[in-house]
Structure 1
Amino acid sequence: MGNLTSDAELEKVWQIRYSNTKEANTQSKKLYDRLSKEGDLKGQMYALLYYAATSFLLSSEILISELIQCTEYFEKRPSEKGLTISYNYLGNVYENIGKYNEAITYCQKSVKAATDIKYAEGIGDSYNTLGIVYMRIGDYVNAEKSFQNALKIRLENEFHAAAASSYNLLGRLNTLKRNYDEALENYQKSLEIRINNSHDAAIPWSQLGLGSLFLEMGKLDDSKLYYTQAIEASQKNSDERCEMHCKLGLGKLYSLKNQGDEAILHLKKALEIAEKMEVKAVLAKIYQVLSEVNTQRQDFQEALINFRKFHNIKEEILNTETHNKLKNQEISFAVERSQKEAEIYQLKHVELKKAYDILEEKNKQITDSINYASSIQSALLPDMEALQNSFTDSFILFKPKDIVSGDFYWIQPLGNKILITAADCTGHGVPGAFMSVLGISLLDDIVNKNGVKQPHKILFELRAKIIHALNQHKEKDKKDGMDMALCLFDFDLQKVFYAGSYNPLYIIRNSELEQIKADRMPIGLHIKDNMPFTEHEFVFQKGDQFYMFSDGYADQFGGPNERKIKSKKFQELLLEQSNQTGEIQKKSLDNYFETWRGEMEQIDDVIVIGLKI
């Protein structure tokens, strides 16, 4: 490199990164400070590179900045192994934060840079990181090829510490593939090498792998033992990344044992580390497990909030665009190395098929996750018993556009009174479902904790709480909120009290329909968000029918001219069926909607509530 003394010191630091990562990090920082003063630029850049490569606590932004600085230096000196290491660790950091297209680009550059200078250790390291990216996106075939390439090079060159890493990753891959016997053999080889070579900093990663394997196999006592050993060892080495994975594993373990308090304790610690280190894939998993634990504890509001966080992160890092970019880059990389046109064509066909298969699997994972969210939302929605006890007849037509809904209904009996709302949240799908959970939770607080019973006052307080909860302050924040019709039926006074945000109330009496208009302001940030809502009060009679609804029914496109149903037709349908039972009204409305829609897509969530005195 330059100065022989500094060269030897730097190489020593690099070689102890497996056995004592913390010491390697400390010494590389000291070397960087000293070599900077001595003006040894090359030594300084290697020290900075090794410091970044052994840092667990720095933010991804700082790490990327330091590694880019190293890359720019070594790109002018391609014969230096520093170029391979810089590229490889950039790939590693981008993989950690879920930017897989960038990760695979730098891994490919790293393989090429190492191959050009016949740097065997670097080739193995680069294939290892490439395999991790493939494993993360579910491409297990290419992951195994990459890991086996790395292992072959490492065994041939007797890179024992690196070979242990390859065995450990093959153990993880075989666990994911449910090849448990092979996984156990891989992990045991990894642990044996690390113990025999006193690679103390790496031992907890083998223990973590065994803990994860036994968890998958349902051997919870063995799993707990290895997780506990790994946590103790990783804390000695200040390896928070390993501790984070162990805490996540223990969270899953205690969830399986229905010990929710213990599960949440470990998951919160894992979350704290994952947020600090910006490891998005792990963050997504933590939120998913938290959601499952919340569901076990019947804390459905918190369950869906955590599910929404999981879903948003998962969508961000596993969207179609990312996978297409990944596969396009992989095709380009393969094509660059291919010589025959026929081989290139075949390779493209194979890679595109793999891309399709991966997308299909990811779509299935996301759909399964949304189905889980739907079960949470369904648990939050009230059953029909309260309506059946209070009204002569009733029905609820509830048709989410997607698996989960932004529309919701809420029912709260209050002695000889009952509060009922039909609400339409901004959006549909998971974002709308999150708003619905927020709305249900806040309504529960306002009515049951704060004791507010009058509909117009409930809407006023709900609006303030929504604005606060969503931290709405600016014009762009106006898009989030909800519209609703809210009624209080007082059976002692024989009165109904109604207040509405955009959503009106329909009353049918003696075969005539009357519309009670809502206020033209949402439950959310608005120019009129300090104005009170209007309260409407009516005496009801036996046989009166009340309808609350979202705009999803009337706004549906279809029919011979692909137009909306519109409010006028919706009113006609209600009048035509008003002498029928609630169940028949519900079926008739649903049948008309589906016939009208035909082959067209449902454009919004739909809710219609019918109540007969």
Structure 2
Amino acid sequence: MDSLRPLLNEHIESLREQLKEELPLKERINVLNELSRKLRNRDNKLAYQYALEALECAQNTANKKIIAIAKTNVAFGKYYQEAAIEEAFLLCNEAIPVFEALNYYNGLGEAFGIQGVIYWNTGEYEMGFSSLMKALKFSEQADDLNWLSWINYLIGGFYHDLKDYQNSLRYHQRALKLFKKNEDIPGHITTIIGIGDIYKVLGQYDLALAIHQEALVMATQHNLVMMKGQAMHEIGMVYLATEDYEKAIDYLNYGLAFRRKINNQRDEITGLIYLSIAHMELEQLDKAEQMLLQGEQLALLNSAKPKLITIYDTLAKLYKKMKDPWKAIKFYEQHQELKAEVMGEEKSTQLKNVNSINSIEKAQQEAEIHKLKNVELKKAYQKIEQQTQSIIDSIHYAKQIQNSILKPIESIEARFDDSFLFFEPKDIVSGDFYWYAEVDTSLDEAPAKPTIATSLGIKSRQAPKMTKILAAVDCTGHGVPGAFMVMLGNSILNEIIHTQRILQPAEILTQLDKKVINALRQTEDEETNNDGMDLAMVTLDESTGVLTFAGARNPLFMVRNGELSHIKGAIYPIGGTQYHTSKVFVEHEVQTQPGDIYYIFSDGFQDQFGGKKARKYLAKRFRKFIEGIAHLPMPEQKAAIGKELKEWQGYNEQTDDVLVIGIKV
């Protein structure tokens, strides 16, 4: 991949050298149009200049196709450089009939793609999605891999806005595959930034941060200013989500500076919004106000109505904090009016329909439903009730099976001098599970040398050397889907440890990952499932007092002398092939000391919504809480965890299964 930059630059320089020659007019226009396309997302300003020159030259020809291509390139620049929405839209509208008459699918893909972005960013969601799906179809027909990769990326972004993260990740992975195939570095970087943002929204902050830092390194290596600004911004967003506001402000400011440098006003608005939020959290209200008012002016200039909705909502909250009720009411009303215009009943219906625009199957199902008469509906409801009860009965039976697989909590607590195991499933059956085993490692040692006693037929009994293995495992999903993963994970762990007698945590995780991928038939194809599990595992050698840890996305907490430290697990989960890289699970050894307490857990507690602002509990607050209760006896810690969870949750629904294990040595 690193070899691409000089090759691409060489090609661009070659095109520039051609422009210095006396070229025939048509050939000159083609070179200008190609330069305009090659420089997109590398230097949009220069790309726009070449597009304008191409259109000026094309107007002197009678070649409708060349003129339409130039208009499409200018439309891209008009939108991204000048935020001239109407002009960009009209240029695409003028180009589309020409492309249709010529069956020029490449041009249709680009024109509909640009229109789709314009529609979406101005609040016309259904039209936006429809245009993007047309762009996808035409780009596939043209086999235009370059534009097809960007269309997949854009559709992934739209699904992200719709909070359909599964489809968003699917389209981002399709785009990444195409960008890698094309050796398109800007596209590669942009897409992994998008993937990182998905993981941030899903609460996988360490993974999101690692992905964005990878993007920042790539953008810096290839001197891509736009990508560098985007990566900086997204790193700031991860810190904002984890309530590290000082770091958030630093990175968001870096991102904002890069965006201003290239006159990317739409992304500048986004940066100003989130910087204001970080300043509000730190009670720096004047700075927050200044940034929001700047953002408002830019949003009005760019007709960025969805961003303007956010700005008005944030301004209303800001002035409420500043105890300025009249301004708070003013901006709240503006927020409500604009939201009604953009996201009113009609637009809400559009959003709900977006995912089914191209779904013939769903349309057929809806048609069938309309055929049902009242009597048929009544019968259907009765049947549903019967089926529901049958399903509930089956789930309760599944719970009995799950309980028979998992050891009783009390029996595990009894295997340690001082410990607790807190387990609170969200549903009848759980997607979290705990796993425990004791293995006599003396059985694996070489036989002792013969002695006089053994020569006389007296058998000596070797002292057992016990290693305790404990894991807190969080499977994909909860309820019935999670329970299936519990069955699979429990079975594979038994095989690895009891049958294969692998006792090193990192190697256990490596084998578990391979076996889960094999069992679920996962491949690097974007259509595959990415189910799996996160876990933290420790082994305790009682003869040496050495505790060994390895984690798949989940950490180990250690409290020693009243201070909490934590050891991170790998950024990869068990299962799933979406990372397109080999996974490495690292082992950490700790020589335990009397009084040490070690904690492993799932992310259910941290992801619980609640509190006054109905926010996630988050990892930072969870660390402080654990450190605050570590001085208590272990049974009291267990009770305190249950109490804190209940109080934080309040009237909110439990978000996920919750599993927390603590052992004291």
TM bucket (normalised to shorter chain) is 0.5 to 0.7
| Residues 33 and 51 in structure 2, CA contact (< 8 A), matched pair in contact too | yes
- State the distance in 2 between where 1:207 and 1:336 align: 42
Measured in 1, the distance between the counterparts of 2:219 and 2:249 equals 21
AA partner of residue 76 (structure 2): A
Instruction: Give me the whole-angstrom Cα distance separating, in 1, the residues matched to 2:353 and 2:116.
Output: 17
| Aligned residue among 76, 94, 105 for 1:53 | 76
CA distance in structure 2 between the partners assigned to 1:192 and 1:147 by the alignment = 20
1:29 and 2:52 equivalent?
Answer: yes
Between the aligned partners of 2:204 and 2:341, the Cα distance in structure 1 is 30
In 2 relative to 1, CA 102–342 (structure 1 residues): closer, same or farther, beyond 3 Å? Answer: closer
Query: Compared with structure 1, are the counterparts of its residues 130 and 216 closer, same or farther at alpha carbon in structure 2 (3 Å cutoff)?
Result: same
CA distance in 2, matches of 1:328, 1:234: 34
- Does structure 1 residue 295 correspond to structure 2 residue 320? yes
Instruction: Name the residue aligned to 2:300.
Output: 275
Distance 1:194 1:223, change over 3 A: same
> Paired residue for 1:242?
267
Is the CA contact 2:236–2:251 (under 8 Å) kept in the aligned structure 1?
Answer: yes
Q: Distance in 1 between matches of 2:169 and 2:86?
A: 30
Matching residue of 1:253? 278
Q: Aligned match of 1:315 in 333, 340, 343?
A: 340
Look up the SS of the partner of 1:76 in the other structure.
Answer: helix
Question: What secondary structure is seen at the aligned counterpart in 1 of 2:101?
Answer: coil
1:153 aligns with 2:178: yes
Aligned to 2:628: none
The residue identity in structure 1 corresponding to 2:293 is K
CA distance in 1, matches of 2:365, 2:38: 44
Aligned: 1:186 with 2:211: yes
Residue matched to 1:11: 34
TM-score by length of 2: 0.49
Please give the alpha-carbon distance, in whole angstroms, between the structure 2 residues aligned to 1:12 and 1:22.
12
Using the TM superposition, give the Cα deviation of residue 152 of structure 1 relative to its aligned residue in structure 2, in angstroms. Answer: 2.1
Deviation at residue 185 of structure 1 after TM alignment: 2.5
| Inter-partner Cα distance in structure 1 for 2:345 and 2:163 | 13
Partner of 1:209: 234
Q: 1:333 is paired with a residue of what secondary structure?
A: coil
* Rounded Cα–Cα distance in structure 2 between residues aligned with 1:317 and 1:129: 21
Q: Say if 1:258 and 1:85 are closer, same or farther in 2 by CA, change over 3 A.
A: same
Aligned equivalent of 1:142: 167
Is 2:146 the counterpart of 1:121? yes
Question: Out of 174, 190, 208, which is 1:165 matched to?
Answer: 190
- Residue type of the partner of 1:10? N
Give the deviation of 1:106 after TM superposition. Answer: 0.3
For residues 14 and 337 of structure 1, what CA distance do their matches in structure 2 show?
Answer: 38
Shift of 1:51: 1.9
Q: What TM-score results when the alignment is normalised by the length of structure 1? A: 0.53
1:71 aligns with one of 96, 99, 105 = 96
Distance 1:54 1:183, change over 3 A: farther
Shift of 1:113: 0.5
Q: How many Å separate the matches in 2 of 1:142 and 1:271?
A: 32
Q: CA deviation at 1:295?
A: 0.8
Q: What is the match of residue 122 of structure 2?
A: 97
Distance 1:302 1:342, change over 3 A: closer
- Which amino acid in 1 is paired with 2:339? K
Name the CA distance, whole Å, in 2 between partners of 1:107 and 1:39.
30
Letter of the 1:69 counterpart:
E
Looking at structure 2, the residues matched to 78 and 186 of structure 1 have their Cα atoms a distance apart, in angstroms, of 40
Distance 1:77 1:119 in 2: 16
Q: Is the 8 A contact 2:29 2:57 kept in 1?
A: no
13-22 vs 310-319, which moves further: 310-319
2:131 counterpart residue number: 106
Partner Cα separation in structure 2 for residue 88 and residue 259 of structure 1: 41
For the structure 1 residues 138 and 319, does the alpha-carbon distance in structure 2 shift closer, same or farther, using more than 3 Å as the test?
Answer: farther
Three-state SS of the structure 2 residue aligned to 1:202 is helix
Match of 2:224 among 174, 199, 211: 199
The one-letter amino acid paired with 1:120 is: L
User: CA contact under 8 A between 1:184 and 1:210: conserved in structure 2?
Assistant: yes
Taking the aligned partners of 1:78 and 1:217, their CA distance within structure 2 comes to 50
* C-alpha distance in structure 1 between counterparts of 2:229 and 2:147, whole Å: 24
Q: Could you tell me how far 1:171 is from its partner in structure 2?
A: 2.2
- After the TM superposition, which residues 375-390 of structure 1 pair with which residues of structure 2 at under 5 Å, given as runs? none
Partner of 2:191, secondary structure, is helix
Q: Give the partner amino acid of 2:178.
A: I
Please state how far the C-alpha of 1:40 moved relative to its aligned partner: 4.1
Compared CA separation, residues 144 and 79, structure 1 to 2 (3 A):
same
Q: 1:325 aligns with which of 350, 353, 356?
A: 350
Q: What is aligned with 1:599?
A: none
SS at match of 1:218: coil
Q: Within 5 Å, give how 1:516-555 maps onto structure 2.
A: none
User: How far apart, CA to CA, are the structure 2 residues paired with 1:147 and 1:58?
Assistant: 25
In structure 1, the residue matched to 2:472 is: none
1:97-136 superposed Cα distances (whole Å, 9 cap, x missing partner): 1110000000110110011121112222112222222222
Q: Which whole-Å CA distance do the structure 2 matches of 1:286 and 1:47 have between them? A: 36
Separation (CA, whole Å) in 2 of partners of 1:105 and 1:166 = 22
Cα deviation, residue 182, structure 1: 2.5
How far apart are the structure 2 equivalents of 1:320 and 1:179? 33
Residue 59 of structure 1 contacts residue 276 of structure 1 at CA under 8 Å; is this kept in 2?
no
Among all aligned residue pairs of Structure 1 and Structure 2, give the percentage whose two residues are the same amino acid: 19
Q: Which amino acid aligns with 1:290?
A: L
Gaps of 5+ in 1: 347-613
* Deviates most, 14-23 or 139-148: 139-148
Offset at residue 180 of structure 1 (A): 1.4
Equivalent position SS for 1:48: helix
Which consecutive unaligned segments of at least 5 residues does structure 2 have?
1-23, 370-665
Amino acid at match of 2:198: L
Q: How does 1:131-530 map to 2 (within 5 A)?
A: 131-328=156-353, 330-335=355-360
Give, in angstroms, the shift of residue 165 of structure 1: 1.3
Shift of 1:335: 2.5
Q: Which amino acid aligns with 1:32?
A: L
Q: Which amino acid aligns with 1:131?
A: G
In structure 2, relative to structure 1, the CA distance for the partners of 1:39 and 1:198 (3 Å cut) is: farther
Deviation at 1:84, TM superposition (A): 0.5
Q: How far apart are residue 238 of structure 1 and its match?
A: 1.6
Deviation digits for residues 144-166 of structure 1 (CA, Å, limit 9, x no counterpart): 22222222222233222112111
Deviations 1:431-475 (A, max 9, x none): xxxxxxxxxxxxxxxxxxxxxxxxxxxxxxxxxxxxxxxxxxxxx
- The CA distance in 1 between the partners of 2:28 and 2:234, in whole Å, is 39
Kept in 2: contact 1:220–1:253 (CA 8 A): yes
CA distance in structure 2 between the partners assigned to 1:221 and 1:326 by the alignment: 36
Contact 2:356 2:362 in 1 (8 A): no
- Pair 1:337–1:121, CA change in 2 (3 A): farther
Judged with a 3 Å threshold, the aligned counterparts in structure 2 of structure 1 residues 2 and 78 are, in CA distance, closer, same or farther, namely: farther
**1: CA distance, partners of 2:210 / 2:328:** 37
Distance 2:141 2:362 in 1: 13
Asked whether the equivalents of residues 126 and 350 of structure 2 are also in contact (C-alpha less than 8 Å), the reply is yes
Counterpart contact for 2:320–2:328, Cα < 8 Å: yes
- Superposition deviation, residue 235 in structure 1: 2.0
Amino acid at match of 1:31: A
Let me know the Cα RMSD of the aligned residues: 2.7
Measure, in 1, the Cα distance between the counterparts of 2:138 and 2:367.
23
Partner of 2:402: none
Deviations 1:477-530 (A, max 9, x none): xxxxxxxxxxxxxxxxxxxxxxxxxxxxxxxxxxxxxxxxxxxxxxxxxxxxxx
CA drift of 1:205 comes to: 1.7
* Aligned residue type for 2:231: S
In structure 1, how many angstroms separate the alpha carbons of the residues matched to 2:207 and 2:73?
Answer: 34
Residue in 2 aligned with 1:541? Answer: none
In structure 2, the residue matched to 1:565 is none
CA displacement at 1:345 relative to structure 2: 8.9
Q: Name the CA distance, whole Å, in 2 between partners of 1:81 and 1:115.
A: 9
Q: CA deviation at 1:336?
A: 7.7
Aligned to 1:396: none
- Alignment partners' CA distance in 1, 2:179 and 2:366: 29
